[in-house]
Every structure is written in structure tokens, then in C-alpha cells.
Chains A and B, each alone.
Chain A
Amino acid sequence: MTIEYVIKGGRVIDASGETFADVLVRDGEIVGIGPDLNGSRTIDATGCVVAPGLVDLHTHLREPGKEEAETIESGSNAAALGGYTAVLAMPNTTPAIDCASVVRDVQAIARGVACDVEVAGAITVGRAGEQLAPMGEMSDLGVKIFTDDGTGVQDIRLMRRALEYARGLGVTLAQHCEVSELSAGTCMHEGEVSSRLGMPGQPAEAEELMVMRDIALARMTGARMHFLHLSTAGSVAMVASAKAAGLPVTCEAAPHHFTLTDECVSSFDPVFKVHPPLRTAGDVDAVRAGLLSGSIDAIATDHAPHPAYEKEKPFDEAPPGMLGLEYALALALTELGMDIAEVLARLSWKPAEIAGIADRHGAVAVGRVANLCVIDPNHEWTIDASGGASRSTNVPYVGRTVRGKVRHTIHRGVPTVLDYELQS
């Protein structure tokens, strides 16, 4: 039986431009874009933007191992509500996603959930930074990005070899930049606020030294390198100049790094604890400017659920991370002062390219799989503490009023969200 519907009355935006048009979807595929299309069913998009589904390069789904915080299913539901049709699942699970069998497990669990779950593999066995993980066998299963996220690969020789090996596989290595000698035992940014609060802090240089090192290694090896969650002005500047020099590097920034500063930690509430830590207002400005100029390619959520009891620990003992999937788009639209097409570039087609899934995500075009989101850019709402569809509630934006909300999400032609409601 044919399933057909038309998304009617919206403004279609993707990398190729924008146009007021209806979008006709049949059996999971976009079959028509144009004025006055008709289908057996209508999804209203009046006053809305019809965009490609969003792609998150940085999602912690916590399964396997920490299902009390999130599951692949609950995280995918949160993603759908946030407008995402694909997320890249980080490998810092228990066990770590560091070999073919765990990749297969995650892919099997992810079958049929509310968005595509792309799997990132670990660079080193157990993310321990000592021995290369079998990237080849994971690459055979479709893994295109490798990272030890949660920590950076500290050993320079090992990182060099990892990049060289990755180049042979045609995959990308993504780095969580943090030099452990400068970050061990710390729980926030080192500066005026940490000094006042009496908290051990890590300087911006803890991140910047590894960014600097990895740019040198990328130059040396010619391998593709992606920098995760850049948080300092210095990092943004270095990656921008590496790109200007023609190196094959890309980078991302997280919503909390363009909205929140280390001053938030004055509350001692671990909901504001994250790695890399919330930085200064100057760093926030640099991240915003980098997103505006395009030197930061993508907004990635670093969605990191933790159960409430973990976030009730003392600040220095609590685990780092905060939710992001349901807030990233609204925060970007509200805070960045960017044209919506530019925001969508950072949230959809750029990350789709980096993830190597641009054939299935990041465009609204005839003949493509219908991975779409329909955004009401004028919908004002206040972020609450519920955590939405996530199993966790570590939301650092509670009480903030934002503008722009995902009204519908279409994943492989199937509506996962209709009129702001998750479809089961």
C-alpha cells in the first residue's frame, strides 16, 4: 500500500537555496517539490520552514551500559523532537564501542528507532589510549568516524599512527581535545570564577595544546581530522587558520558553549558541569563568531544524559555533561543572530557531510529519502526541567525562553513528530 502525503504551505530551505513550495512524499521518498501539490494526506506547514532533518555529530545514547540515563530508543525520541533524523552515537559506552561486535549490537538495537543512529567507533581499545582499536573491522560495518570522546588520545605517537591508519581506511578521526596533565582533577574552567569559588580548574590551554598538536599531526599525516566541542577563543582561531591553510580539518561547537559561561558554576549545581567546561564570556563570543563566519562547521549537541542522583553529588564528584538534543535548534535560532539558512547549515547539511551521510541527510530534493524537519521559527516556548523524551533531566537551560520549535519531523518518510508530539 502506498503511503503518500504532502507537506503544505511551508518555505523549503536547504543548501541549494530557498523557495515557497509544497513537498510531496511517497513511500519514504521525496517525489515532488512545487506549488499546489496534492497528496492523499496533508501535513500543514503554514508559516513554517521545511528543512532537511538535523544531524547531530555528538550524541551520548548511553546504551549499552548506562540505560538508566538513556537508551538508544529514548535518545532517538529526544532527537526526533529536536528535529534530528540522524545522530552519531559516541563510543564511550560500557563496554566501549571499540570492535565489530559492539558496533553490530548497537546497530541492531537502533533498528527501527526514531532516527538513524550512526555509530562512532573508538580509536583505542577500551578508549584507554594504549592500543589501536580494530578500526578496519568497524569501518567494514559502516563506521566512518572514530573518537575516544570523553578523553583525548594523549600519546602523540599513537595519535600519529591512528591518523595514518585512518587515512588508509578513508575514515575521519575526531578528537576530544584535553591534555590530561593540565586537566586531571579539575572540574571547571580555570579563571576568575574558579579562583573565587575555590574549585580546581583547567585552563583554556588544556584544550588548545591538543588542538595545536593535532593540527600539526593532521598536516603531517594528511588524514581527516574533526575537532569536537571547541570551547575556547584560541581553539577556534587555530582551527580557522588550519582550514585557511587548506588542511582537511573540521570542527563543531556545542549549544552550551555559545550560551553559558563559567559564572553559572557559582550555583555549585553540577547541571553546569561539562567537559570541556563552560568558559568565559570572551570564549562564548568567539564561538558565536566562529559559527557566524563558518569557521566552525557544525553545531553538535554533546547530549550527555545523567541520572538525577549522579548530578546531586558534590560538584567535583558529579559526572560531566548536559542534555542538548531538544534545545540545540531553538538556542541557535534565539542566540546566534544568524539567518535560519545558516543555522540549518550548521545543524544539518554540514554535519551530514562530516558524518559521511550526505547521500541520505541534509537535503530536500526530489529522489532523496524523506528526512525532513518542519520548524515554526516564531514559536516561543520556555525550557522546562522535564528533560523531554530523555530519560534524564540534566537541563542547564531551565526557565530560558527561546524562539523556534520543531513542529514535525519526518524520518525515512515516516512522521516521528507531528504537531510537536512524538508519534509512537
Chain B
Amino acid sequence: MRHLLSIADLERSDLESLLQLTDRFVEVSKRPIRNVPALRGKTVVSLFFEDSTRTRLSFETAAKRLGADVMTFSVGTSSVKKGESLRDTVETISAFGIDAIVVRHASSGVPHRIRQWTNAAILNGGDGWHQHPTQALLDSYTIRSHFGSLDGLRIAIVGDVKHSRVARSDVQAFTKLGAEVVLVAPPTLLPPSLDGWPVTVSHDLDAVIGTIDVCYLLRMQRERMVEALVPSLREYAHRFGLSPGRADRLGDRAIIMHPGPMNRGVEISPEAADRPNAVVTEQVANGVAVRQAALFKLLGSESQFEAIEKAGS
């Protein structure tokens, strides 16, 4: 693996090997000293063209725990504000001598495009509505840690699938790992075509809620009303929000997930968000270990692997 751009590029075996690697980092994270210097001497740059403090901090924490040097390229106060092109930015950063770039951009495809302007490994930290592969990995890991495996699980992804890179990545990861996915949304919030998507579709959350193992709620953005995609957030919450009543009808073992940040009262009621089977903070915690695994997979080597094992003994 040279880059981590899209779940579409990965086989089931790649996903499983990343999840197994994540197990080791989760185990290390429980030790008094959480750091393993497996990437000492490596330099990782976080290049976030779109604000995302959570994802950026998660990646930077992961890189630091592996002993890598971390550079934060903050777009808001940099040459990009002065009109520097994407290519010039990437070539300039690369000239410092770096090993990986974690990139987040509001435009789909930017991580794919910048590959040609650098020798560094590219980790996609989210591009447009397209992909967010480490989110899919941490979601898969979280589900796996509750159910042992994703095989045979039924997972509902509820809400604004159309504009969601999380949904696009999750659908691919969950189904590759053996789960069945049902998308639940009004037609206006689904992609215009689902040809080739290994999913079923429902427009009725009530019809689905009692049949699923995982209820994955997507963030609903306020501007969707202006685009005439839903009449109001109130109506959206009424029809597609996880109310306490709907949460009651989830199966005993079912879990509630959300990529954050949550709109309490819109896609999820405050009460449902605070239930014990809502695993949102677990997702965040697993995010660091998953990103350690991804960085190690791209930049690490076998001998350093052994160093991790030794540190554990």
C-alpha cells in the first residue's frame, strides 16, 4: 500500500489487516506509556484545506504516538490565502523532505490529484463528498469490537448520504467486510443514482429500526433546507431522527453510531445520544489507533513492527 485514498482501492484482506494492526495499537494505548517510536525520523504533514480540528488532531496524535515529526500546514494563515496553487503548495511542502501528507479538502478527488506532485504517501483525510477512508476504518473497527465481526450484520446508514463522504466510505467498507447495508433517507438526500451500490434503500426509518444491528446516523446540515432538500429540520427530525421511541425499538445488542459532531435534536435526540449503546466517543478513541495503523502501514517496516512487539513485552 502506497497511499490511502479510497476504500474502493482496498480488498477485504487489506481492511482486515488494517483492523488487526489497529488491535495492536489499541492494546499499546492501554499501557502507561502510549508511545511507540515506530516512525521515528519520519515526517508527517497535515494539510487541511477545510477546517476539521477533530480529524486533524486525531491524525496528529496518531503520528506523534508513533514518534513521527508532525508539521501542521495551516491553510488559513498561509500562502494559500495569498492565492498559491494546490500544486505549488504540495511541491513546496514536499521540498522540505517529508514522508506523508494527510490531506483534507472540500473538493472530491484532491488526494488523488496531488499524488503526482509529491513522493510522499498520501492519506485522505476527507475529500468533498467522495471518501473518508480512516473514518470508515474506525467505524468498522468499532462495530467489530462490539460484534466480533461485521459478517452478517445489518447496518442502517440514516440521513444525508448524498453529500456524505462518510457514507460513501462506510458503504464500501461495511459491505466488503460482510455486512448488509440499508440506506435510510428521503430521496432528496440520496445520491441521484445508486447503480452499482451494494445496498438496499428505505424511506421509512420506522420500518427499518427493529431489523438492524447498527444505526449509523449522519450529520444533517442546516443549508440543506435552503436547497429545498427537506422542508425543515423539524420535519427531518420527525421522520428520520433517532427519537427515544425509535431507540427503544432497536434490538438489545444494537449500537448507535455517529461520525460527529452531532446535531442533538436533529438527527439524534439528546436522550438517545446519551444511551449506553451510543458509541460515539468509542469511535473517536478508536480513530487514533486506526490512524496509527494506517500511518504505520504506509510508512513503517517489519523491523519496526518487532520494536513495537518488544516494547509490549
Contact = CB atoms under 8 A, between A and B. Distances in A.
Interface of A: 190-192, 194-201, 203, 267-269, 309, 312-317
Contacts of A191: 192-193
A268 B112 contact: yes
B108 A268 contact: yes
A315 B193 contact: no
Given A197-B108, A198-B165, A268-B113, A316 B192 contact: no
Contact of A196 (B112, B128, B196): B196
Given A312-B85, A314-B86, A197 B109 contact: yes
Contact of B87 (A196, A268, A309, A315): A309
Nearest to B195: A192
B168 interface: yes
A199 B192 contact: no
B303 to A, nearest CB: 36
B128 A198 contact: yes
A198 B109 CA distance: 9
B130 A198 contact: yes
Interface in B178-204: 191-197
Nearest to A199: B108
Contacts of B129: 198-200
Nearest to A316: B107
A196 to B, nearest CB: 7
Contacts of A200: 129
Interface in B104-152: 105, 107-110, 112-113, 127-131
A198 B124 CA distance: 14
Contact of B109 (A190, A201, A314): A314
Interface of B: 85-87, 105, 107-110, 112-113, 127-131, 165, 168, 191-197
Contacts of B86: 312-314
Q: Which of A198, A312, A316 has the most CB of B within 10 A?
A: A198
B131 A198 contact: yes
A311 B127 CA distance: 18
24 contacts: A190-B192, A191-B192, A192-B193, A194-B192, A195-B195, A196-B191, A196-B196, A196-B197, A197-B109, A198-B127, A198-B165, A199-B108, A199-B109, A199-B129, A200-B129, A203-B192, A268-B108, A268-B109, A269-B113, A312-B85, A312-B86, A313-B86, A314-B86, A314-B110
A269 B168 CA distance: 20
A315 B192 contact: no
A199 B109 CA distance: 9
Contacts of A196: 168, 191, 196-197
Contacts of A195: 191-195, 197
A-B pairs, top 3 by smallest CB distance, nearest first, are: A268-B109, A198-B129, A314-B107
Interface SS majority for chain B = loop
A190 B110 CA distance: 20
A315 B87 CA distance: 13
Given A198-B128, A198-B168, A316 B193 contact: no
B89 to A, nearest CB: 11
A315 B195 CA distance: 23
B85 A199 contact: no
Contacts of A312: 85-87, 113
A129 to B, nearest CB: 23
Contacts of A201: 192
A272 to B, nearest CB: 11
A203 B191 CA distance: 12
A197 B192 contact: no
Given A191-B193, A197-B130, A315 B108 contact: yes
Nearest to B227: A185
Contacts of B193: 190-192, 194-195
Which of A190, A191, A197, A267 neighbours the largest number of chain B CB atoms within 10 Å of its CB?
Answer: A197
B135 to A, nearest CB: 14
A101 to B, nearest CB: 32
A88 B97 CA distance: 50
Given A199-B129, A309-B87, A312-B87, A317 B191 contact: no
Nearest to A314: B107
A199 B128 contact: yes
Contacts of B168: 196, 198
Contacts of B113: 268-269, 312, 314-315
Contacts of A317: 107
Contacts of A314: 86, 105, 107-110, 113
Contacts of B196: 192, 196
Nearest to B168: A198
A316 B128 contact: yes
Contacts of A268: 108-110, 112-113
Nearest to A193: B193
Contacts of B194: 195
Contact of A315 (B109, B191, B197): B109
Interface hub of A190, A195, A199, A203 (most chain B Cβ within 10 A): A195
Contacts of A194: 191-193
